[in-house]
Amino acid sequence: MNPRLYIDVHILQTVPPANLNRDDQGNPKEASFGGVRRSRVSSQAWKRATRMAFAERVPEEKLATRTKKIASQLTERLEARADLDTDAAIRIAGALLATLEIKAGKKAGDTAYLLFYGRQQLEEVVNLVADQLDDLAVLDDADLAAAVKELPVREKLGTGHPMDVALFGRMVADIPSLNVDAATQVAHALSTHATELEFDYYTAVDDENEKEETGAGMIGTIGFNSATLYRYATVSLHQLTANLGDDTAAALDAVELFLHSFVRSTPSGYGNSFAHRTLPSLVAVVVRQDQPVNLVSAFENPVRARNGIVAASARRLAREHSLATSQWGDTPLHTGLCHTFDPDDEETAATAAALSTAFRPAQTFPTVLAKLRASLIETVKQG
């Protein structure tokens, strides 16, 4: 049995004027924390950005998709396997999915909710009938339903999970056997300081206006703010390993994929308007055996802008980590740190020193990932 291991990820990232994640009014999401309004980016928004970044490093066929259109996806795969006409493929796909007893959506062919499943898992469903498609195509609806009734469709979708399903889990309310406990928790990102909502009033000129025509072709406003965000996530390695069929190597690959993608991804809201992509100023990785620990309490008292915010936020984070470790006695198994505070620069030397004391001396991000993997392998070996 694998030991309990939690990999906490702490990130400080400064974002310029942006609207990463809008609310129902179209403005950047906010939250009250420490008695003041903060900029907020929902966990769902950053999880999706992370998942989308997976495709940059892993072939699409090895990943999952989240959609109501599983019937059309299955139909396309059936057509690709044999010389079936579309109507026959639709009927066979419908019969196979009927064995799951999934509630139908309002739109024909859709399910009532989004399903999160691996593309390879759907291919395994096709494999169940691949050698009998021509025979199934000529059956009437009743005989077709009877022919596929006992096929292990549910088992194919309930095993062999891809990394993203193993990491983020799956909830299917009316089919509990398809549920997958998430191995990853992602907190809502919060600014370390108070923020104010601002508005960009914009105009668009009609390029084809005649000289005598005045005024804009379009006017509008976009809400935005800027913030130094504290981002936190944790990965349960033992749960992730179980979700991947007790494959430790696959779990370690998934941890690295998640960390790389979570750290470097950014939600794309209004990206063309604000070009807001930045890299973090700080990434700290902490391996624990006791429990995950979110360090957001470091910023309950909002950071005040004096000579910038991110350096003060980093010192707050370092102090909170040190106090949590000393007062609770929960010394981490491993820490890794990457940051952009120059220890040889007079303005940032104190920040770099505080971080080194609290976590460890800074390393490049690839080195942090490599040493984390080595530490996890050694810990798992020792049991």
Most confident residue range from 109-118, 136-145, 303-312: 136-145
> Which pLDDT score, from 0 to 100, does residue 83 have?
82
Mean pLDDT over 187-206 rounds to 89
Q: Where are the domains positioned within the chain?
A: 6-58+182-382, 65-161
List alpha helices for the chain, DSSP H.
43-54, 70-81, 86-98, 119-129, 133-137, 141-148, 153-158, 163-168, 237-243, 248-264, 271-274, 310-328, 349-358, 365-382
**What SS3 string covers 54-105?**
HCCCCCHHHCEEEECCHHHHHHHHHHHHCCCCHHHHHHHHHHHHHCCCCCEC
Cα 57 to chain centroid distance, Å, stands at 14
Mean pLDDT over 148-174 rounds to 93
- What digits encode the pLDDT tens for the residues 74-104? 999 999 888 888 999 999 999 999 998 888 7
SS3 351: helix
- With 60 as the cut, is the pLDDT of residue 265 above it? yes
Cα 314 to chain centroid distance, Å, stands at 24
Mean pLDDT over 300-315 rounds to 92
- With 90 as the cut, is the pLDDT of residue 111 above it? no
SS3 139: coil
* 184 phi and psi angles, rounded to 5 deg: -125, 135
- With 60 as the cut, is the pLDDT of residue 1 above it? no
Kindly indicate the confidence band of residue 305, based on its pLDDT and cuts at 50, 70 and 90.
Answer: confident
SS3 13: strand
- With 70 as the cut, is the pLDDT of residue 215 above it? no
- With 90 as the cut, is the pLDDT of residue 238 above it? yes
Residue pair 289/328 in contact by the 8 Å Cβ criterion = no
Q: Whole-prediction pTM value?
A: 0.92
- With 90 as the cut, is the pLDDT of residue 229 above it? yes
- The average confidence (pLDDT) of the chain is 92
Contact residues for 55 (Cβ-Cβ < 8 A; gap 6+)? 63
Percent of the chain with pLDDT over 70: 98
Nearest alpha-carbon partner for 148 in 96, 93, 106: 96
